[in-house]
Structure 1
Amino acid sequence: MTDEPAPRRSDATRAAILDAARRRFAEDGFRKATIRAIAADAGIDPSMVMRYYGNKDGLFLAAVDIHLDLPDLGAAAPDALGDLLIRRFLELWERPPSNEILLTVLRSAVTDETFTQRAQQLFAEQVAPAVLRIGDPADAPRRAGLIATQILGLALCRYILRLPPVVALTQEQVIAEIAPAIQRYLTSEPPKL
């Protein structure tokens, strides 16, 4: 016999709502997704969505809450940094629920200024601090920004636009192609112009 309390029904309802919201936001985007459709997907009354999350904005923010759990670059072998980061991002982009969350954040950020701030917050709170662990801290924002261009460009082409040559690449091929660029961004000095 365990001393753990049984999960409450409200926890299961919240989880069902978030799962349905992540799928619906990923498929339809923020503007097209409706509370009614999300509730139908979750098998509940729309009033329950409102009860737990208040409105569509509140539900969206809960649905896109993600912790990237990036590797500690300061503790990694210096020549393996690019490989570590691209492997982690591929893991995030290709496994549920993080793949749905990231897809939703990217789609929403490029179509709605309100949600651009969420993407910027994710970058500022989770990506930039990982890069601060190596190299010159004053140069970390430049390096983190360049890494974001590479990762987001890959995500756009592979998961949203689904460009056939990019989709056809195996994970190991993506790693072999992209890791050196990320490694260079992580360890490069600013160009002297």
Structure 2
Amino acid sequence: MAFTERSARTRAEILAAAQRAFAAEGYERATIRSIAADAGIDPSMVIRYFGSKAALYTAASTIDLAVPVLADDPEDAAASYVRAMLDRWEGGRNAAEAVLLRAAPTRPDAAARVQEIFDQEIVPAVRAVRPDDPHVRERAALLLSQSLGVVYCRYLLGIEPLASMDVDTLATLVADAVAGHLTAALPD
């Protein structure tokens, strides 16, 4: 195996271990030592590859949310958005999101990243569905609040009965709520 292949594999192993640690323990409780132990390397290697715990956290919480292109019809848009969001979490492709969302309540940089995702991905997706709506940002904020509520309760906190609810039932119910956020009359 070439040196660069081995370096890339080591970097990926450190990143995966960091995502597990930050998602499970949060930024404050996760340590370089525990991340290195999980990756099977010396702690100095974590610093060599990432420079600091903060830089490792930034790399571990980098997200490409990939909000689906939403349909013109608000009900179809809501259903496709919710299904994509749930599929991502159900399929375990959420490590960076879990890291970011666990840290956001206590770390201003993580909260700022959530705001950035909102501004760059959620608002444009809602604007595509409601291009002439003066309340696009409000609707996008309601959509995000619904999404985060489900994610925190089902996936991060394991609140019952939401945690064990059939995913198709959940998708239908949440899509109905999101469609309401996209279509409800809002005051001027």
Which residue of structure 2 lines up, in the alignment, with residue 53 of structure 1? 50
Instruction: Kindly report which structure 2 residues correspond to 1:14-163, keeping only aligned pairs within 5 A, or say none.
Output: 14-73=11-70, 75=71, 77-96=73-92, 98-135=93-130, 136=132, 138-163=134-159
State yes or no: 1:181 paired with 2:173.
no
Q: Distance in 2 between matches of 1:143 and 1:78?
A: 11
Please report how far the alpha carbon of residue 188 of structure 1 lies from its aligned counterpart in structure 2 after TM superposition.
3.3
Instruction: Answer yes or no: is the 8 Å Cα contact 1:82–1:180 preserved in 2.
Output: yes
SS of residue in 2 equivalent to 1:164: coil
Please report how far the alpha carbon of residue 40 of structure 1 lies from its aligned counterpart in structure 2 after TM superposition.
0.8
Q: Distance in 2 between matches of 1:38 and 1:148?
A: 31
> In the TM superposition, what whole-angstrom CA distance separates every residue of 1:77-132 from its partner, at most 9, and x where no partner exists?
55311110111111222233x32221221110012233211221222222122112
| 164 and 78 in structure 1: CA distance in 2 versus 1, 3 angstrom threshold | closer
Flag structure 1 segments of 5+ consecutive residues without an equivalent.
none
Please report how far the alpha carbon of residue 15 of structure 1 lies from its aligned counterpart in structure 2 after TM superposition.
0.5
TM-score (norm 2): 0.91
| 76 and 14 in structure 1: CA distance in 2 versus 1, 3 angstrom threshold | farther
Please report how far the alpha carbon of residue 186 of structure 1 lies from its aligned counterpart in structure 2 after TM superposition.
2.1
User: Which of these residues, 165, 170, 175, is aligned with residue 161 of structure 2?
Assistant: 165
- Give the superposed CA RMSD: 1.9
Counterpart of 1:184 in structure 2: which amino acid?
A: G
Q: Distance in 2 between matches of 1:6 and 1:91?
A: 36
Flag structure 2 segments of 5+ consecutive residues without an equivalent.
none
Percent identity over paired residues? 40
Q: Distance in 1 between matches of 2:40 and 2:144?
A: 37
Instruction: Answer yes or no: is the 8 Å Cα contact 1:64–1:102 preserved in 2.
Output: yes
Q: Which runs of 4+ in 1 moved over 6 A?
A: none
Instruction: Answer yes or no: is the 8 Å Cα contact 2:75–2:175 preserved in 1.
Output: no
| 77 and 43 in structure 1: CA distance in 2 versus 1, 3 angstrom threshold | same
Q: Distance in 1 between matches of 2:98 and 2:143?
A: 18
Q: Distance in 2 between matches of 1:123 and 1:94?
A: 22
SS of residue in 1 equivalent to 2:63: coil
